[in-house]
Amino acid sequence: MILPYALRLVCLCFASFFVLNAAAGLLVRIASASAIRFAESKTPNAAARFLLAAHLFPVALATLFVLALCVPSYLWLEPTAGAERVGGICALLGLLGVATCLHSMARTAISLFASLRHYRLCRLGGQEMRLPGAPSPTVVLEGEAPLLAMFGLLRSRLLISRGVLRTLSAEELDATLSHEHAHRTSRDNFKRLLLLLAPDIFPFVRAFRTLEHSWAKFTEWAADDQATAGDSSRAIFLAAALVQVARMGSGPRLPFLSTSLLARDRDLAVRVNRLLRAAPVTPALPSKTRPLLLAASFLFAGCLVALLIAPPTLSLVHELLELLLH
Amino acid sequence: MIRFLKNRIAGGADPSQSLALGSLEFELMEILWSCEESNVRDLVPKLSRPLAYTTVMTTLDRLFKKGLLGRHKSDRAFVYSPLFSRQEWERKRAGNLVADFLAGPRPSRELLLSCLLDAVGEHDAALLDELEKKIRSRRKELSRQGQP
């Protein structure tokens, strides 16, 4: 297949993106069980951050390679004159790269639309009000469904059913609202969007399901910890609220881009037992070494970028791209 | 022609009416969804009960006027084909149903929402009892230690 200069660049970008994303993704998939075990030894907040980073690592690496190395080396070293032949394998990899990216974009768009539609439908039938202690404007729905969920990416909205309001005591409600507030401050819905946007290893193959489930579990635990703030009685109220809401029966099926008190919770007993543990989990205070670590990371990243964009590195990358192209 | 236009306008004014099907209409649509296109003569023997040629013809004409079937002439007879797939028809029908409910009075909207918040799974009652017991005993323990 003979392609002009710009199309060759596009083909190379998608092909190298696909190869790197698939290779790194496979590594992450193989290491996911160990990663989850490692995360379990950390605090829920750190564990959730680690698993999210592991999930996003392949796409971040592939994007970085394409933008920082592939494009500059091509623009700098590839002669602009004339069309050139592109190998069948490169074209196929490029197409697979396009398919993987399009699939993740379509999935994200569908989820965004479903979440928006669900929220609008609930708002049409509900009543918007401000509950005392609620982190954001709340839509109260009539009915006995055990619904307590946070919708929205930037301006979050809380959905709660009249049944939940009636069932929970003031203290239990306060604890659950703090739990939802914790999801809001950690921007968990936005992180869900990132997970959806991250392309899979191959189109239509969800390889990171286990990582996603574990991440969701740790975000719930982290929100529990933030809501109870190391206070045993608050922890009991939150545990009681969880059991009360679970006792209300079936939970509504919610869109992926929302956080709910119970809907996706498969380990209710573990969560309640965790809350009832004798020593309450205190949220980690910001470490004094954090700014130092951050500065060191920036320095390291700067050195790495300088090394990467050095002419010999770009020439090497260009040679690799030529190999892939033909 | 005038009647056809009147029907089309009436159909446009109430889309839920045009998508609602009687039993014979539904049966004919199902046959047409499976065979894609057919004329009246071929459809009659495929029906579950014996019906007159003219009855089937009138029903197909009604479906055409409702905008569910398209038709073209072949050998002096009409060949009918569905304008929507079964999935599209079901989606449209569900959409109209939801729109009707939402346009209706408040109780209708609430009914719809309570249907949407449907059952997806229930927790084990014994497990919940056990968890509640643990919560009570932990509460007692804390109150003995002097916390509320």
- Selected for mutation to probe chain A from B97, B135, B141, B142 (highest A CB count within 10 Å) is B135
DSSP state of A284: P
B120 vs A181: CA distance, rounded Å: 25
pLDDT: which is higher, B29 or B85: B29
CB contact under 8 A, B120 and A253: yes
Secondary structure (DSSP) of chain B = -HHHHHHHHHHHH-HHHHH---HHHHHHHHHHHHHS-EEHHHHGGGSSS---HHHHHHHHHHHHHTTSEEEEEETTEEEEEESS-HHHHHHHHHHHHHHHHHHS-HHHHHHHHHHHS-------HHHHHHHHHHHHHHHHHHHHTT--
Number of domains chain A is built from: 1
Interface size A-B, in CB pairs within 8 Å, comes to 80
Q: How confident is the model at residue B127 (pLDDT cuts 50, 70, 90)?
A: confident
CB contact under 8 A, A125 and B109: yes
B111 contacts in chain A (CB < 8 Å): none
A10 vs A3: CA distance, rounded Å: 10
Give the percent of chain B with pLDDT over 90. Answer: 3
**How do residues B85-124 score in pLDDT, each as one tens digit?**
887 787 777 777 666 666 655 555 655 655 555 444 455 7
Q: Which residues of B touch A (CB under 8 A)?
A: 98, 102, 106, 109-110, 112-114, 116-123, 125, 127-128, 131-132, 134-135, 138-139, 142, 147-148
Nearest chain A residue to B118 by CA distance is: A252
User: Do A124 and B99 contact (CB within 8 A), yes or no?
Assistant: no
Go through A226-246 and write b for each residue having 16 or more CB atoms within 10 A of its CB, e for each that does not: bbbeeebbbbbbbbbbbbbbb
Residue B4 pLDDT > 50: no
User: Do A20 and A65 contact (CB within 8 A), yes or no?
Assistant: yes
Amino acid at A129: M
Which tokens go with A101?
Answer: 């990216």
Residue B145 pLDDT > 80: no
Residue A296 lies in a domain: no
> Can you name the residues that pair with B82 across neighbouring β-strands?
B69
The domain at B2-83 falls in which architecture?
Orthogonal Bundle (1.10)
Domain ranges of chain B: 2-83, 88-144
A269 vs A259: CA distance, rounded Å: 19
Residue A295 lies in a domain: no
Gap from A197 CA to chain B (nearest CA, Å): 27
Q: Map residue A47 onto helix, strand or coil.
A: helix
Asked if ipTM goes beyond 0.95, one says no
Give the percent of chain B with pLDDT over 70. Answer: 66
A125 contacts in chain B (CB < 8 Å): 102, 106, 109-110, 112-113
- Selected for mutation to probe chain B from A253, A265, A274 (highest B CB count within 10 Å) is A253
Which tokens go with A266?
Answer: 């498969």
> Which pLDDT value is given to residue A158?
85
Residue B8 pLDDT > 60: no
CB contact under 8 A, B113 and A249: no
A247 contacts in chain B (CB < 8 Å): 123, 125, 128
Full pLDDT tens readout for chain A, 326 residues:
777 777 888 888 898 899 889 999 999 988 888 888 888 888 888 999 999 999 999 999 898 888 888 888 888 777 776 667 777 888 888 888 889 889 889 988 988 888 888 888 777 777 887 777 666 778 888 777 788 888 888 778 888 888 888 888 888 888 888 888 888 888 888 899 999 888 888 777 777 888 888 888 899 889 888 888 888 888 899 999 988 888 887 666 777 878 877 755 567 888 888 888 855 555 555 556 677 777 878 777 777 776 666 777 777 777 777 777 67
A19 vs B78: CA distance, rounded Å: 55
A149 vs A180: CA distance, rounded Å: 7
B80 vs B63: CA distance, rounded Å: 10
Residue A286 lies in a domain: no
CB contact under 8 A, B113 and A243: no
> Which pLDDT value is given to residue A50?
92
CA angle A59, A64, A69 (to 5 degrees): 140
Nearest chain A residue to B119 by CA distance is: A250
User: Do A151 and A119 contact (CB within 8 A), yes or no?
Assistant: yes
Nearest chain B residue to A277 by CA distance is: B138
A67 vs A20: CA distance, rounded Å: 13
Q: How confident is the model at residue B10 (pLDDT cuts 50, 70, 90)?
A: very low
A274 vs B135: CA distance, rounded Å: 11
Say if pTM beats, i.e. exceeds, 0.80. no
For A124, which of B102, B120, B128 is closest by C-beta distance?
B102
B80 vs A311: CA distance, rounded Å: 69
> Which pLDDT value is given to residue B120?
40
By residue range, what is the domain housing residue A255? 2-281+302-325
User: Do A112 and A256 contact (CB within 8 A), yes or no?
Assistant: no
